Amino acid sequence: MKKEAELLQKIEAILFYLAEPVKISFLVKTLEVSKEEILAAVGELGTQLEKRGVRIIYHNDEITLATAPEFSDLIEKIIKEEREKDLGRSGIETLSIVAYKGAVSKKEIEYIRGVNSQYALRNLLLRGLVEKKTSQGDERMILYSITGDTLRYLGLSHISELPEYEESQKHLEITPEPEETESTEIE
């Protein structure tokens, strides 16, 4: 019983920390348990959360935490208040990183800023200034990029109109590493 309760707590902690949809396969790999154990634990967690303000959403082999539908009016009120506030320094920094770097992961943003950027990203997502997409190279990675609304918000018609955009792109270019050549030993 203790092992099952601990598994529930771990799943809940992961969902809370990541604050985005999590693949069941990721939980299986990370928690080193079977898919059946994960699904049973997710079902039990969902039942426990029915008495609280959050729910488990299960869709396309992914799960995420979401607010309970009965609190939608409260959440809408909070979202409206957040949209009316200024972006703030963290929002502007985060938006700048996304604009200049292009498609960028939350991890990269946080590395550049040196702090957790979850709140800033959420705020930008709510305002429609950034969007998140799954990376084509790695389906587990979520990338953030600017939207057309960002350009309108900034009064630009094209991303290249950002100050020093072309110059910054030259500095951000990744140069390919030289290919490794196989060394052959002569016996």
Is the pLDDT at 178 greater than 60? The verdict is no
Q: How many domains does the chain have?
A: 2
- pLDDT per residue over 113-172, tens digit each? 999 998 899 889 988 899 988 878 777 788 999 988 888 877 777 888 888 888 877 776
Give the residue numbers spanning the domain of 41. 2-70
Residue 157 tokens, joined: 């018609």
What CATH number is associated with residue 151?
1.10.10.10
**In the chain, which residue ranges form alpha helices assigned H by DSSP?**
2-18, 24-31, 35-49, 72-84, 88-101, 106-113, 118-127, 148-154, 165-172
Verify that 60 and 89 share a domain, yes or no: no
pLDDT of 15 > 50? The answer is yes
Note the pLDDT of residue 180: 44
| Residue 145, pLDDT score | 92
Q: Model-level pTM greater than 0.85?
A: no
Q: Higher confidence at residue 114 or residue 83?
A: 114
The verdict on 96 and 46 lying in the same domain is no
> Are residues 91 and 114 located together in one domain of the fold?
yes
Mean pLDDT of 8-32: 90
Query: Tokens 């039990």 map to which residue?
Result: 44
Specify whether 66 is located in the same domain as 92. no
